[in-house]
């Protein structure tokens, strides 16, 4: 299962993890994906979407 939001297209970001002595090692920041039930074309579907997308959809369709 990929770590990409189907609504916004958000995916993982990569960068450096820095220790106290500033040594760099690679790491990644995954987006916050949650399983939510969303109505798509009149049917309820379970979708793994980012929390930001879910909040935006809730705000738009209330």
Nearest to 9 by CA among 60, 41, 40, 52: 52
In the prediction, which pLDDT does 61 show?
78
Q: Which domain holds residue 39?
A: 1-53
- How many structural domains are present in the chain? 1
Nearest to 49 by CA among 62, 61, 37: 37
pTM above 0.85, yes or no: no
- Please indicate, yes or no, if residue 15 is contained in any of the structural domains: yes
| Contacts of range 42-50, beta carbons closer than 8 Å, 24 or more positions apart | 47/6, 47/7, 48/1, 48/5, 48/6, 49/5, 49/6, 49/7, 49/8, 50/5, 50/7, 50/8, 50/10
- Please indicate, yes or no, if residue 11 is contained in any of the structural domains: yes
Per-residue pLDDT tens digits of the chain, which is 62 residues long: 789 999 999 999 999 999 999 999 999 999 999 999 998 899 999 999 999 999 999 888 77
- Please indicate, yes or no, if residue 16 is contained in any of the structural domains: yes
- Domain of 5, CATH number, reads 2.30.170.40
- Please indicate, yes or no, if residue 59 is contained in any of the structural domains: no
């Amino acid at each position: 299962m990929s770590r990409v939001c189907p609504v916004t297209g958000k995916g993982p970001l990569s960068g450096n993890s820095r220790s106290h002595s500033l040594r760099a090692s690679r790491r990644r920041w995954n987006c916050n994906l949650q399983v939510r039930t969303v109505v798509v074309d009149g049917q309820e579907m379970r979708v793994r979407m980012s929390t930001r997308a879910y909040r935006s959809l809730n705000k738009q369709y209330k």
